[in-house]
Amino acid sequence: QVQVVESGGGLVQAGGSLRLSCAASGITVSRYDMGWFRQAPGKQRELVASIGSRGSTNYADSMKGRFTISRDNAKNTMYLEMNNLKPEDTAVYYCKLDSLFNTFWGQGTQVTVSS
C-alpha cells in the first residue's frame, strides 16, 4: 500500500521559515519525479517547485530565492525549505509523485503566515 505523508506545516510570522517533509512508503521514490504544490482558499492548486528523478529542479517565479526543494532517496523523502515567508504563502501544501505509470498525492499540510 502506497502512502504519501506531508509534515512540517504550521503557523509562522512573516519573514520566518519552515521546512516541509514528504515521506513516501510502499514505493521507491528514486523512480519518481516529485513536486510541491499549494492551494490557497478560493484559488487553484499551483506548482511551488519540482525535482526530477535525477535531481533537476524547477521553481515558480515567486518562490525563487526563498524556497529550496531537495530529496533524499535513501530516506524516501522530499523536502521544501521555505524562508522569508509572506502572508501570501498561506496555503495547504501538497506533495506529488509522478512516474510514467502512477501519480500519488499526499493529504496536504497547512502553512499559515501571519503578518
Read off the pLDDT of residues 20-43 as tens digits, 9 standing for 90 and up.
Answer: 999 999 999 999 999 999 999 999
The confidence score (pLDDT) of residue 107 equals: 97
**Band (67; pLDDT cuts 50, 70, 90):** very high
The confidence score (pLDDT) of residue 47 equals: 98
49-76 burial, b if ≥16 CB within 10 A, otherwise e? bbbeeeeeeebeeebeeebebebeeeeb
The mean of the pLDDT values for the chain is 96
Mean pLDDT of 50-69: 95
